[in-house]
C-alpha cells in the first residue's frame, strides 16, 4: 500500500510500528542496531550502530537506494524515527561523552537521518519523530534527555516551515513501558502506556493527515 522508512526498528515502539504498517500491507524498510529484533515481514533490513555517524547513515541510504531501484524505485512516503537513549545524571556529575550520547541518539540522529535520506522521499512525505511530554521531564538528572527532546520539537517545527509540502509530526507519549526504565532510578508509573498503543497512533495519524504534535496519554 505504501512505503515506510523506520529508523530505530529494534526499539519496542519501532517493532510495533513495523507490525502495524505491515498489517496494512505496507513495505517497511527497517534500520537499527539489532536486526534480530526487527519485526517479522520487513522488506529491507540494515544494521547501523550509531545514528550520529553520517558515513554509516549514508551507507544505509545507498543500500536502501539500491534495493528501491531493484523494486521499481518507489519513493518513501512515511518516515518514523524512534531512536532514543536516556540517562539520569546530575549536570555536575555528567561527563561530556554522556551528554553527547543522549543528544546524539535523540536529536542529532534525527537531523542526520532526515538530511541523508531526504533524496529518497516522496514529494509530500509524512515524517514522525518520537519525542516525549517535555514539560514533564524537568526533573533532576534528566537535563540531557529533556534538552534533546525539547530540541527535537523545535527541529520538527522548523523542518515543517522549511518544507511546506511535508507533514511533520512529533509523537509525545506519556511514560511508556519499555527497556528505558531499566536505565533510570525512577519507578514505572502504574498507568504506563503499552508500546503497541503508542505505535498504533502513528498510522492513524498518517491516515488522518495529522501534523504538529501528537500527545498520547493514558486512558
pLDDT given at position 71? 93
Q: Cα Rg for the chain, rounded, in angstroms?
A: 17
The number of distinct structural domains making up the chain is 1
Prediction pTM value: 0.96
Profile the chain (219 residues) by mean pLDDT over runs of 10 residues. Answer: 97 97 98 97 97 98 98 97 96 98 98 99 99 92 97 98 99 90 83 94 98 95
107: containing domain: 3-216
User: Using CA atoms, how far apart are residues 65 and 4, in angstroms rounded to an integer?
Assistant: 13
Terminal Cα distance for the chain, rounded: 31
Q: Where are the beta strands (DSSP E) in 8-157?
A: 27-32, 44-47, 76-81, 121-130
CATH code of the domain containing 129: 3.40.50.720
Amino acid at each position: 500500500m505504501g512505503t515506510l522508512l523506520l529508523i530505530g526498528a529494534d526499539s519496542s515502539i519501532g517493532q510495533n510500528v513495523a507490525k502495524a504498517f505491515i498489517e496494512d500491507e505496507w513495505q517497511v524498510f527497517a534500520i537499527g542496531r539489532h536486526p534480530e529484533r526487527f519485526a517479522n515481514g520487513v522488506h529491507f533490513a540494515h544494521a547501523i550502530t550509531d545514528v550520529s555517524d553520517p558515513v554509516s547513515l549514508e551507507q544505509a541510504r545507498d543500500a536502501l537506494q539500491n534495493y528501491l531501484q531493484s523494486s521499481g524505485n518507489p519513493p518513501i512516503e512515511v518516515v518514523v524515527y524512534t531512536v532514543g537513549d536516556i540517562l539520569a545524571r546530575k549536570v555536575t556529575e555528567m561527563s561530556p561523552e554522556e551528554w553527547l550520547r543522549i543528544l546524539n541518539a535523540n536529536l542529532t540522529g534525527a537531523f542526520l537521518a532526515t538530511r541523508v535520506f531526504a533524496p529518497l522521499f516522496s514529494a509530500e512525505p509524512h515524517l514522525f519523530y518520537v519525542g516525549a511530554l517535555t514539560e514533564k521531564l524537568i526533573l533532576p538528572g534528566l537535563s540531557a534527555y529533556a534538552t534533546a527532546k525539547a530540541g527535537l520539537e523545535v527541529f520538527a517545527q522548523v523542518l515543517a516551515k522549511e518544507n511546506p509540502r511535508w507533514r511533520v509530526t512529533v509523537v509525545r507519549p506519556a511514560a511508556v513501558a519499555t527497556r528505558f526504565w531499566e536505565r533510570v532510578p525512577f519507578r514505572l508509573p502504574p498507568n504506563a502506556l503499552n508500546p503497541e498503543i503508542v505505535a498504533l497512533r502513528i498510522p492513524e495519524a498518517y491516515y488522518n493527515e495529522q501534523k504538529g504534535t501528537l500527545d498520547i496519554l493514558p486512558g
